[in-house]
Structure 1
Amino acid sequence: MTLRADSARVRARMLAAARARIAAGDVELPLNAIAKDAGVGVGTVYRHFASRQALLESLAADSYRELIAEAAAAADNPDIARGLRNLLRAALRCQLADPALAAVLAAPECQCAETLALGRELGMLSMRVLDRARAAGVVRADVVADDVRRLTCGLQHAVRSGDDDGTAIDRYLEIVLRGLRP
């Protein structure tokens, strides 16, 4: 759907206000506060974003696309073990860089049609990676794309909860990769 120019500017202000809140550590994103920060009425926020989840999904769309590009590269990597590792690292990196994406990937379901389409695309690419990895003996036969999503969400939480020197990412990735092996 194409927005009128004034509506697009208002939407951009609301997204900027939400991004500023997330950057400040507020991932709750109360829509009343977003409206106030953007200088609009709360009804305007609800016209653009039916819920907090819809707002999060809009904020995460670019990072979701970046993750899909990483999944496509992993699926095409001639070394599927490296491709799988790269995909897990990219999923973790994207979630750490974008708390909105982390929240969207951790949510049980999506609200926006665009997010549903992005999720299907990521799932299909992830399954391509996993199918190739299974065929090469790199992962267990029972691992599915949703397992990978849940594991990277857990890794993201584990990394955020610690205060280490940055080595946790590699250590946790290695633990998960060992657990995925047959």
Structure 2
Amino acid sequence: MLQVAREQVAAGDDSLQLNAIARLAGVGVGTVYRHFPNQHALREALSAERFGELVAEAQAAADAEDALAGLQRLLRFALARALEDSGFAAVLESAADAEAHTSELKAELDRAVAHLLDRARATRAIRRDVEADDVRRLLCGVEHAVRAGDGDPGRTEVYLDVLMQGLRPPR
């Protein structure tokens, strides 16, 4: 079922209609719904590997010598992945998770980002009132802004720079 869903997405169809996936996978609709009660649960399953990569990148950024540079690298990495994969972006921005595994990955991500933010705060490189969840939400906002634009890749850097400047403490 996951392979069929991956093939559909690769072919440009990210609608993930569970009935169509059942038919293409040669299984009953009930089988698909038992594993994936809704499309969001399927998106989570398809995004698990990418989410694991993001968590690893966040942990590496948290251990970087320069916390602010680590944060900027993490934001660039996460934004690139979200722009490559709209399903992953939807999972990243979702307030509710269908699967416990996704919630665990988000918690790991938040812990790594919180550690990174604490290190950056210690050097007074970022605001004191920004939390890990705020960074994720702001990044999702940048992803939406890039998608809503005309596709100019230069805007991505402009938007990331605006985000980074907004994370800095007030003068």
Per the alignment, residue 110 of structure 1 pairs with 97
Structure 2 unaligned segments of length 5 or more: list them.
none
Shift, 1:37, TM fit: 2.3
Tell me how far apart the structure 2 counterparts of residues 58 and 45 of structure 1 sit (CA, whole Å). Answer: 12
Partner residue, 1:43 = 30
1:27-59: per-residue Cα shift (whole Å, max 9, x none)? 332211211222221111012212211111100
Counterpart for residue 87 of structure 1 = 74
- Give yes or no for the alignment of 1:129 onto 2:116: yes
Identity %: 53
Superposition misfits of 4+ residues, deviation over 6 angstroms? none
Question: C-alpha distance in 1, partners of 2:7/2:159?
Answer: 30
Whether the aligned pair in 2 keeps the contact of 1:22 and 1:99 (CA below 8 Å) is no
Which residue pairs with 2:147 in the alignment?
A: 160
Equivalent pairs counted in the alignment come to 169
Using the TM superposition, give the Cα deviation of residue 66 of structure 1 relative to its aligned residue in structure 2, in angstroms. 0.5
Correspondence for 1:61 among 26, 48, 52: 48
Structure 2: distance between partners of 1:17 and 1:145: 34
Q: Does 1:144 align with 2:137?
A: no
- Structure 1 contact 72–125 (Cα < 8 Å) conserved: yes
TM-score after normalising by structure 2? 0.93
Give the alignment's TM-score, normalised by structure 1: 0.87
**C-alpha displacement at 1:124, in angstroms?**
0.2
Distance 2:18 2:104 in 1: 25
Alpha-carbon shift at residue 163 of structure 1 (Å): 2.3
Secondary structure of the residue aligned to 1:118 is helix
Q: For 2:161, which of 170, 174, 178 is the aligned residue?
A: 174
Task: Say yes or no: does 1:71 pair with 2:58.
Answer: yes
Does the alignment pair 1:34 with 2:49? no
**Backbone CA RMSD of aligned residues:** 1.3
Distance of 2:146 and 2:7 partners within structure 1? 22
Q: Deviation of residue 97 (structure 1)?
A: 2.0
Residue ranges of structure 1 left out of the alignment (5+ in a row): 1-13
SS of residue paired to 1:167:
helix
